[in-house]
Amino acid sequence: MTVAQFWNEFMADNAKFPVMKHCENMKYTKMEKVPEEGLNWKLNMTVPVQGVPFMNETRAVRKSEVRKEDKKIVMEVDTKTIDAPYSETFSSKECWIIISSSKN
């Protein structure tokens, strides 16, 4: 799969399996995708939680910084829960690097 094919399949606004579909499958609710500068975006949502006393969901914010080049896509994601205990203390950071498996 080329980087362009990956983009069209998963990242483009009209993608076959976009990020929002993945979030729906993860049982996220109240999702609002907010475009930011360039390809960057922020997703406000409510996510289910387990093992936290007195709550079964929390608000969350996922900020994504995307850099798209001809031969790779780099997506850095910072997710922060808002209502869960100790949420002001930490966030989850991810870095996705997509490179082509095709020589084309």
What integer pLDDT is reported at residue 104 of this predicted model?
57
What are the pLDDT digits (tens) for 45-77? Answer: 999 988 878 889 999 999 999 999 888 999 999
Residue 99 predicted with pLDDT over 80 = yes
Q: Give the C-alpha distances (Å, rounded to integers) separating 17 from 11, 24, 49, 51, 85.
A: 8, 11, 24, 30, 32
pLDDT band at 102 (very low <50, low <70, confident <90, very high): low
What integer pLDDT is reported at residue 51 of this predicted model?
84
* Average pLDDT across the chain, whole number: 89
pLDDT band at 20 (very low <50, low <70, confident <90, very high): confident
pTM score of the predicted model: 0.80
